[in-house]
Structure 1
Amino acid sequence: MLVFAFKRLVSVIPILLGITVIAYFLTRTIPGDVVAVMLGTNADPEVAAQLRRNLRLDQPIIVGYFDWLAALLRGDLGESIRSGLPIGQDLMTRFGRTAQLTLAAIVLATALSIPLGILAAVRRNRAADQVISITALLGISVPDFWLGTLLILFFALKLGWLPPAGYASPSEDPALFLKLLILPTITLAFQVMGILTRFTRGAMLEVLNQDFVRTARAKGVAERAVLYRHALRNALIPVITVIGLNIGFLLSGTILVETIFGWPGVGSLAVTAINQRDYPVVQACVMLFALTFTVVNLVVDLLYGVIDARIRYS
């Protein structure tokens, strides 16, 4: 397994290098000029030129890329153009907040979708299956921004049960943190739940028709044991894959939800940086998303051997 993990890590190096090229050059093609944003369109040309030199924006783009790449390889994410502060500390703090939201959404979606998927497979073509399938389809179809806005209008503004937006540190005010976490978690989890429910249902239907399941039932094994000990374990491989992919997507795709609920994570940082033309921050966010996605996929690949002993790494 260690050899396999090492090979996978080596294989992603060219991918990450390719992402650095995309992140840097596409970021620099964002319409607008950061100097004009900072000084205004009527700024003194000499002052604007001096600021451009100070920010090293007067360099050829290829020179700037290799300077940035060399700093990145040293672990230096650079400084924000707008604030002048190092990016790394603020980025890690915000990534922790995004991870809190992502973890809560994945746990909620998994806890609901796997039992619902099993129930839909067992009750195939019955009322329970139809209700669960329709709910899963709604989860896949409903946009995050619409659902989030609806939840704020109903639970926060109309009923007053929960705060509409914001963030509180779990170490300073755990109760307020949990209240603020509920609505964005539901918003993120609803779509993931729909996807996982459909995958769990399909995987279970395929496994339940296998010979080893019929043999277990013929031997008198309890139906609960047949479902969870035999069928579910063999159906988990595609489900685990989808869970891993969704963790990566949520970590890198919470921009809308964080913006709607005022959650100060990486997504909201990326939006602010794009609006302000803060190139180093945008590039750092993109690289963090890419690295996270790579690590999550590696962990998922390693979990296959834990779930199914028949899988061997080479």
Structure 2
Amino acid sequence: MTSVLVSRLARLLAVLLAVTAASFCMVSLLPGDTVTAMLGANASEEDRAAVREELRLDDPLPVRYARWVGDAVTGDLGTSYRTRQPVTEAIGQRIGVTLQLVVLSQLIALAVAVPMAIFGALRPGSLLDKLLSSTQLALLATPGYLVAVGLMAVFAVQLGWFDTTGYVRFTENPLLNLKSLLLPALALAAEQIALYARVLRTDLVNTFDQDFIWFARAKGNSTRRIVLRHALRPSSIGIVTLTGISVGRMIGGTVLVETIFSLPGLGRYTIDAINNRDFMALQGAVVVLTVGFVLVNFVADLLHGVLDPRIRTAVRPA
């Protein structure tokens, strides 16, 4: 098991290096000029040259990347070209909002999807199962921005239950903090609810046909006990894998949701960096988002061994 863990850690580091190198190249090749964004189009050539020299923008791309990696290892992601604020400090101020949003979205998605999957799997092909499947297809077919705008139009504008924009920090008021994140979290969770429910329902239907489930029924176990005690765990492997992948989709989705709901998170910081041609801030944000995605998938990979003993058995030495 230790060798497998070391192997996965090595693979994780290799993925991080590859992704950071690719993102650094793509960010550097984006259209627009950093110096023009900082000084304006009317800046003199002397001022422009001085800024380029100060930021060492004329160094070859591999040299800039190697220097950035060396600084990043120590926790220094550079300084924003536009605000002159350390990128690490700026991300630290915003990452809590994004983490709250993603965690709340995942909790909502799982809390809704698991019961939907169970009810559908208990009576496959029934009217309830067809209604749930139709709802899931509708959620999958609706673009995320339409879900966000629709939730805002109904619950914020028409009913007035929520504010259209604004964020309250948890330390200021926990209840208002939850309220300010609820609509964005629902918008982010909508697609995941459908994905989780469909995958878990399929796995549950297959599990219900296994011999050990028939044996549990023959022993007189209640449906509730069979589902919760015997069927749910072996059916959860697919949804755990999907959760790891979906967190990455959710992290990407925060860029849109945070912009629509004016949340001061990492997604909106990324959009602002793109609009301002602030490549150092953009690179830092992209790397942090990527690290989060890779780490979540790493944890999901490890959880497979907990949910499926066959994986642990397979890695034991003979």
Shorter-normalised TM range: over 0.9
TM-score by length of 2: 0.94
Q: Number of residues paired by the alignment?
A: 314
CA distance in 1, matches of 2:96, 2:146: 26
8 Å contact 1:273–1:282 — kept in the other structure?
yes
CA distance in 2, matches of 1:111, 1:305: 23
Deviation at residue 251 of structure 1 after TM alignment: 2.5
* Gaps in structure 1 of 5+ consecutive residues: none
CA distance in 2, matches of 1:93, 1:130: 45
8 Å contact 2:38–2:81 — kept in the other structure?
no
The alignment partner of 1:235 has SS state of coil
Residue 157 (str. 1) matches residue 131 (str. 2): no
CA distance in 2, matches of 1:219, 1:159: 51
The alignment partner of 2:311 has SS state of coil
CA distance in 1, matches of 2:101, 2:4: 31
Per-residue Cα deviation, 1:273-298 (whole angstroms, up to 9, x for no partner):
11111111111112112211121112
CA distance in 2, matches of 1:175, 1:196: 28
CA distance in 2, matches of 1:25, 1:303: 33
Q: Percent of counterpart pairs with the same letter? A: 38
CA distance in 1, matches of 2:303, 2:132: 28
Matched ranges for 1:8-157 at <5 A = 8-157=8-157
Q: Which moved more, 1:242-251 or 1:99-108?
A: 242-251
The runs of 4+ residues in structure 1 deviating greater than 4 Å are none
* Structure 2 letter corresponding to 1:93: Q
* Structure 2 letter corresponding to 1:161: W
Per-residue Cα deviation, 1:13-47 (whole angstroms, up to 9, x for no partner):
22211112111111011111011122222221111
CA distance in 1, matches of 2:294, 2:159: 42
CA distance in 2, matches of 1:189, 1:170: 21
Deviation at residue 204 of structure 1 after TM alignment: 0.5
TM-score by length of 1: 0.96
Per-residue Cα deviation, 1:84-124 (whole angstroms, up to 9, x for no partner):
11111221231111010011010011011011101011121
Q: Which moved more, 1:276-285 or 1:100-109?
A: 276-285
The alignment partner of 1:166 has SS state of coil
The alignment partner of 1:12 has SS state of helix
* Structure 1 letter corresponding to 2:70: A
Deviation at residue 196 of structure 1 after TM alignment: 0.4
CA distance in 2, matches of 1:289, 1:179: 25
The alignment partner of 1:311 has SS state of helix
Deviation at residue 2 of structure 1 after TM alignment: 4.2
* Structure 2 letter corresponding to 1:238: G
Residue 258 (str. 1) matches residue 263 (str. 2): no
CA distance in 1, matches of 2:29, 2:309: 49
**Structure-1 residue corresponding to 2:208:** 208
8 Å contact 1:164–1:261 — kept in the other structure?
yes
Residue 230 (str. 1) matches residue 211 (str. 2): no
8 Å contact 1:5–1:298 — kept in the other structure?
no
8 Å contact 2:19–2:290 — kept in the other structure?
yes
CA distance in 1, matches of 2:209, 2:274: 51
Deviation at residue 170 of structure 1 after TM alignment: 0.8
Per-residue Cα deviation, 1:54-92 (whole angstroms, up to 9, x for no partner):
222122222212211221223211111111111112212
CA distance in 1, matches of 2:210, 2:56: 64
**Structure-2 residue corresponding to 1:169:** 169
Per-residue Cα deviation, 1:192-219 (whole angstroms, up to 9, x for no partner):
1010010111111111111111122122
CA distance in 2, matches of 1:267, 1:182: 17
CA distance in 1, matches of 2:20, 2:305: 32
CA 1:310–1:62 in 2, change beyond 3 Å: closer, same or farther?
closer
CA distance in 2, matches of 1:198, 1:87: 40
Q: Which moved more, 1:290-299 or 1:187-196?
A: 290-299
* Gaps in structure 2 of 5+ consecutive residues: none
8 Å contact 2:136–2:194 — kept in the other structure?
yes
The alignment partner of 1:290 has SS state of helix
**Structure-2 residue corresponding to 1:297:** 297
8 Å contact 2:188–2:253 — kept in the other structure?
no
The alignment partner of 2:235 has SS state of helix
Residue 197 (str. 1) matches residue 197 (str. 2): yes
Per-residue Cα deviation, 1:166-200 (whole angstroms, up to 9, x for no partner):
21111112232122111101101111101001011
CA distance in 1, matches of 2:74, 2:104: 33
